[in-house]
Structure 1
């Protein structure tokens, strides 16, 4: 039987154990004296032992029922045992325990036993009271625990908006394990009687407690501080939860402590009703969705529509003879909830004062920002808003060259002097990685040496990348601030909104890193470390600075912005996005310009349904984001394991690991793979805490070159056309499978079945292939896997668009110069373009050239075309290249146009 370390999550382990126990007890009850009975009893004993480690952390079925089932097994009551285990397993699978009491006696009747929650209509599910669990931390005996549970149960009233059950654990360590194992927990009551140590297996504790600070920090705690410290430590792993501290200490003692997530302190009183009401109020505060609620109420009001939306209230549809099918498809509510932004009293996105303002404040709390702004036209617009608000014409911006195209267009609009940074290439898979910190520091030091550091405004990076590469955000910000203490950071987290709700992932988000650094810079320890390093580095050369982990001055300003596509990774309608701000100078320096940029790019007719979905999506992640993200990671991990272990799949496919996608020099932990057939699971925490880059486990990049199909063909003709599996991204020889919070284990199972079927069909095809057909197949595989074109670096801006001997260029002037057709010409890739380069001519792109995939510009306006870029364009086997005209060729600037621009002062505002 697999140990706990063989599983990527406690949830999956628990689910599998109960399913295995149901199968084993059913078999034993059917034939208690058969040939396999002895082995069956041994398996059941092992399953009970395994479950005994983790069942104390859940309210259902509860340790009382669990111990009773174990006694039934000991006494040979196998039929009663099988019945109870079957009921428990079914209730856990369907979620029935969340709605009603589950009787476990064999003669009991459960009228709704087969009433699976998923089969109920949405209206019925919406009427049910949400269920959660309350963790009570107190070292009590069995009698006292029963007294605690009974007192909690007695407080419940029919009018309560929620239902909850209590889980009681004795120690601080058990409490930390519970909140990481049990996603149902929404509140914690910390009583004076808690102890420090758990009796659980030490290897499990060591593995999980690192997320809350580690065993050393826990061992150093004093008994009188256990309660307050627990509240603080839980805030590290699940900051969305509420804690209530029952203490015997005086008000003065408690007042100066960091109580983390503690909402209220009770002084040695047993006022269970007051505690009960506070628990409900705390969960209700997270369950609020002010704009969605306002929109629902608006839809119920009888109104006369005399504004500019015929579809409002559905009138233009219900009166129609030709579009009734649209009304039937969408239903009435979406039209009843439609209104103009200037009417209906539902608040304005451009000047929010009511429910939209409140919804944005709740989102700010949930995502750890200081301000949060909603957007209804995607993160492309969010990126342009932030850049325009912060960047002035002539400012130097360091930009990840293979970032989303919206950033490049944002640079054009802002008139920035763009200094492109190159990510490390993954030539073998025709994709880029991320920008090494060393290169960023090197560029900043170059600009400092050139006397331009005062003009450097922003560093713009993608975190995480489409392929799942994640930066060490805190370290990047620290070291860059050590060189430029007021540098602004824009982190494009379009694919990373979910990360806030996982303890492992959260540490690498922009908002979390900003909050950590703000606290860190205030500390005396940081000031002392800075002074000490300054002495050491007094006369240091550039190489020393590049090789040293730099410490920023205590007066450095933390200025971080994150743009997130909520709709890509959380629950939101298409184009629902957010801008998160954690900028110490926002109020004094940015607020007005941000408001103007927001007005510039935001529609005056925003879609209210998108805003409502952002509000509800925030509500969801505050209450169940931890569970959903955990299940998402679990689904991706099971996919990795299934593909890695299947002998047939390994012939044609390979799951790319961190070792494949991140060079060794950037993996300080030495971790190469999250799952290995020989060693099992690797704890992700180690590499996520240490490494310069890590791989997001929820993205599974599959190398498919071994099938003889390129990535685009495999995606379109095989996965989509034949099996109905939709994916976004491919490279020349890979496809990317992204799990999300809606991914189920059954959908993963279907994908594995499809891959196995594809592998079997290839086996059969090759078995019957002629020698020439086999040679053709091998040649295609070799071409895809070995004969790959090297990925080109950014060449340079032409001298006409940059000052002498500087890497940064004026992309705005180049962009608008191309508006006049007389300034441009077209050159054929295989003819006139190559001839011009062979003749020594400098060819300069007049357009953004963006192949899909990979989906970022390989040429920008004003960039010199290098031989490497030309070779790469020729080798591209994708049909979609934005900005390129196959019928005409590559759009380039004429020599006369470049001559006219050359010599202008490009260090000031562009034309």
Structure 2
């Protein structure tokens, strides 16, 4: 299969009619005659930007002309430019071939630190262009052949070999789509290669995901090496499934499990599926609705034992807890010091599981230190096995649903791969999507040093520049009269150039008002700077409402209609991530769109003008101004004191009345009744109740409704009726529309 990676020639005479120009173009023609594309440019331009093109090139050929050495000063300048460019390339790519070419200059004119990075030195008039071209093309092909990791290499070879296949899927490499007009559209949209690569697990030459053989196994081993773990498994249906695999490999009915209350719903599903008895560790929260860390004291073994002893279903259980699951990187980027947790709980809990769906990048930059689960030269536990589940598709370059499970053996407790694979088989499709496997393979290969480090470094740098840009805009508005306002990015107050790149600047320190999480333990928590939560005006971290406010839901609807889609929206905050795919253009567009929102808000532009798609679906807002709508919704939030209500409901006493699996079984057997909101207090839910935002389950099956939670549901009901289009989405809340056209809400409870 032919890939497009041109040979890049950088020579100021590339387009000149002098002897140098004729010579370099003759070389370019000879290279093209060998079947390689050539891209010729006359200068480096911006070094960092040009160096990023290493991902698109097969070779760089750099000119050292006699004119550049016409004087000592000119020579120094030429060498400085050359050194800077080569350094920028090698920061990202240690393997791509780099050649120098000149007329009379030799290696004695080039410093050793540059020479050692080269693959050859071309003298234009000593060999024929054709001979030099063959040498360049040989190096280019060797480099390109080294790039594909094992599974992706095998898949590309299979897709391009022209074999007829008699196995599933039924579209037979895309041929079936060509027999229908709409199928033709589908084929043209996705392309031949994707469809030829969509194959069945019967293809022996590609190996088996289910039993980890062949190129699949080779790629998993390669990824394990890159991610510095003992075992690594690709998962093609997301980290929700990865979490369930980990749990089913270690948890059985009646086992005690220690769980972060701020866990993904897949962990709660695993609790119901395994029949485990959960004992929860409670995280902090601030009044922005941002979930903070579990205090370090909650991890103390004596405190966990007290929680177990006080739990109605756990207190009589025998044996130590089977698993601890912690959300390692909360949605907003709060991290734990993993070594501190390991030191406290090694051997006391069988398995330490870190749900790192939002943190796969951390292993590739020293900035993150011990604030991720498994890394190079990190000490092992003596007894407890460490698992990390990571969403390759969230922060790295995987396709949607690409995930992986990382395992670090303990000194005295090694993974039994056969036993583990029984749980793996329980949750893995027998028809996995091979493009997702390939993306897991490639995403890991992309993080190989030095490229992976450079990608994460770039993400951090772009995130810091965005924060500084937002702060600069705010400072300029603060100098204006009439109380001008602006958005802020949640994080440390000090965004000075000095020190902001250091880890200590991002530590959550005790009592600092910016985070609002109280007296946190020293060195235990850090904020990941690439997670940026933008705070809108109207609410402070203490839960106090201002006279004027701008609910975040209005801002995000505005952004969406202007081509900017955000990840998560709260009452007065919304969230964006600086993944390795973020560009300067993207975050600068965010800044300019927020400026545009501010301008339209200050002018109270009519919604039909600034939110035409929204108004078309909700015509009642047609005559409303943008500022007027913000004022109206803010007034309701303020009157109901919603910030404190939502904080208190998550911190309220949630009493377990049944084991989660037993309560869920009541639903499966239809031994439930649909209870109206006003009658819920004291009832036992049989379903997960999950408000969005933040998408964290509020109640799990088997727990009782309390007055605070009922009050929140009553607020949501009233708000949804008053502000259609801005409805609070609560999974588990059943909506029924009566004959009178009014919506009524219910929850399925144990009968």
Indicate whether 1:890 and 2:746 are aligned: yes
What does the per-residue CA deviation read over 1:196-224, in whole Å, with 9 as the maximum and x for residues that have no partner? xxxxxxxxxxxxxxxxxxxxxxxxxxxxx
Indicate whether 1:750 and 2:589 are aligned: yes
Aligned equivalent of 2:283, options 417, 420, 423: 423
Partner residue in 2 for 1:393: 253
Is the Cα–Cα contact under 8 Å of residues 849 and 881 in structure 1 kept in the other structure?
yes
Partner residue in 2 for 1:828: 676
Q: After the TM superposition, which residues 357-756 of structure 1 pair with which residues of structure 2 at under 5 Å, given as runs? A: 357-427=217-287, 429-441=288-300, 443-446=303-306, 454-481=319-346, 484-512=347-375, 516-518=378-380, 556-584=382-410, 590-623=416-449, 624-647=451-474, 651-658=484-491, 672-673=492-493, 675-676=495-496, 682-687=500-505, 691-706=523-538, 708-715=549-556, 717-721=557-561, 723-756=562-595
What does the per-residue CA deviation read over 1:377-416, in whole Å, with 9 as the maximum and x for residues that have no partner? 0100000000110112111111111211100001111111
Partner residue in 2 for 1:101: 62
The residue matched to 2:319 in structure 1 has which SS? helix
Aligned equivalent of 1:760, options 587, 591, 599: 599
TM-score (norm 2): 0.71
Is the Cα–Cα contact under 8 Å of residues 845 and 892 in structure 1 kept in the other structure?
yes
What does the per-residue CA deviation read over 1:416-435, in whole Å, with 9 as the maximum and x for residues that have no partner? 111122110112x1232121
Partner residue in 2 for 1:146: 111
Is the Cα–Cα contact under 8 Å of residues 559 and 565 in structure 2 kept in the other structure?
yes
The residue matched to 1:615 in structure 2 has which SS? helix
Indicate whether 1:871 and 2:711 are aligned: yes
Is the Cα–Cα contact under 8 Å of residues 847 and 892 in structure 1 kept in the other structure?
yes
Is the Cα–Cα contact under 8 Å of residues 463 and 470 in structure 1 kept in the other structure?
yes
Distance change >3 Å, CA 735–CA 152, structure 1 → 2: closer
| Cα distance in 2 for residues equivalent to 1:703 and 1:151 | 49
Distance change >3 Å, CA 395–CA 150, structure 1 → 2: closer
Partner residue in 1 for 2:618: none
| Cα distance in 1 for residues equivalent to 2:443 and 2:627 | 52
What does the per-residue CA deviation read over 1:517-556, in whole Å, with 9 as the maximum and x for residues that have no partner? 32xx7xxxxxxxxxxxxxxxxxxxxxxxxxxxxxxxxxx4
User: Once structures 1 and 2 are overlaid, which stretch shifts more, 350-359 or 867-876?
Assistant: 867-876
Q: Give how far 1:346 is off.
A: 1.2
The residue matched to 1:789 in structure 2 has which SS? helix
Is the Cα–Cα contact under 8 Å of residues 688 and 731 in structure 2 kept in the other structure?
yes
Is the Cα–Cα contact under 8 Å of residues 851 and 880 in structure 1 kept in the other structure?
yes
User: Once structures 1 and 2 are overlaid, which stretch shifts more, 775-784 or 593-602?
Assistant: 775-784
Distance change >3 Å, CA 415–CA 774, structure 1 → 2: closer
Distance change >3 Å, CA 88–CA 873, structure 1 → 2: same
Q: Give how far 1:709 is off.
A: 4.0
Aligned length: 592
Distance change >3 Å, CA 674–CA 633, structure 1 → 2: farther
Distance change >3 Å, CA 368–CA 413, structure 1 → 2: same
The residue matched to 1:87 in structure 2 has which SS? coil
| Cα distance in 2 for residues equivalent to 1:479 and 1:286 | 44
| Cα distance in 1 for residues equivalent to 2:350 and 2:729 | 37
| Cα distance in 1 for residues equivalent to 2:371 and 2:136 | 38
The residue matched to 2:460 in structure 1 has which SS? helix
Q: Give how far 1:344 is off.
A: 5.1
| Cα distance in 1 for residues equivalent to 2:252 and 2:153 | 40
Distance change >3 Å, CA 90–CA 728, structure 1 → 2: closer
| Cα distance in 2 for residues equivalent to 1:774 and 1:581 | 52
| Cα distance in 2 for residues equivalent to 1:162 and 1:705 | 60
**Higher normalized helix content (fraction of residues):** 1
| Unmatched 5+ stretches in structure 2 | 1-41, 70-92, 100-106, 122-131, 310-314, 479-483, 508-521, 539-547, 607-624, 720-726, 737-743
CA RMSD of aligned residues (A): 3.7
Q: Give how far 1:499 is off.
A: 1.2
| Cα distance in 2 for residues equivalent to 1:149 and 1:635 | 29
Q: After the TM superposition, which residues 758-797 of structure 1 pair with which residues of structure 2 at under 5 Å, given as runs? A: 758-765=597-604, 780-781=633-634, 784=637, 788-790=643-645, 791=647, 792-793=649-650
Distance change >3 Å, CA 718–CA 599, structure 1 → 2: same
Distance change >3 Å, CA 775–CA 728, structure 1 → 2: closer
Distance change >3 Å, CA 700–CA 291, structure 1 → 2: same
Is the Cα–Cα contact under 8 Å of residues 789 and 871 in structure 1 kept in the other structure?
no
Distance change >3 Å, CA 161–CA 460, structure 1 → 2: farther
Distance change >3 Å, CA 90–CA 639, structure 1 → 2: closer
Is the Cα–Cα contact under 8 Å of residues 166 and 172 in structure 2 kept in the other structure?
no
Partner residue in 1 for 2:154: 294
| Unmatched 5+ stretches in structure 1 | 1-85, 109-127, 135-141, 165-279, 522-555, 659-671, 802-809, 898-911
Distance change >3 Å, CA 159–CA 107, structure 1 → 2: closer
Distance change >3 Å, CA 740–CA 88, structure 1 → 2: same
The residue matched to 2:111 in structure 1 has which SS? helix
Is the Cα–Cα contact under 8 Å of residues 674 and 684 in structure 1 kept in the other structure?
no
Is the Cα–Cα contact under 8 Å of residues 87 and 102 in structure 1 kept in the other structure?
no
TM-score (norm 1): 0.59
| Cα distance in 2 for residues equivalent to 1:107 and 1:147 | 19
| Cα distance in 1 for residues equivalent to 2:414 and 2:340 | 26
Distance change >3 Å, CA 319–CA 360, structure 1 → 2: same
Indicate whether 1:312 and 2:172 are aligned: yes
The residue matched to 1:490 in structure 2 has which SS? strand
User: Once structures 1 and 2 are overlaid, which stretch shifts more, 580-589 or 884-893?
Assistant: 580-589
Q: Give how far 1:146 is off.
A: 3.4
Aligned equivalent of 1:815, options 664, 668, 678: 664
| Cα distance in 1 for residues equivalent to 2:173 and 2:61 | 38
Distance change >3 Å, CA 762–CA 396, structure 1 → 2: same
Is the Cα–Cα contact under 8 Å of residues 664 and 686 in structure 2 kept in the other structure?
yes
Is the Cα–Cα contact under 8 Å of residues 708 and 784 in structure 1 kept in the other structure?
no
User: Once structures 1 and 2 are overlaid, which stretch shifts more, 851-860 or 86-95?
Assistant: 86-95
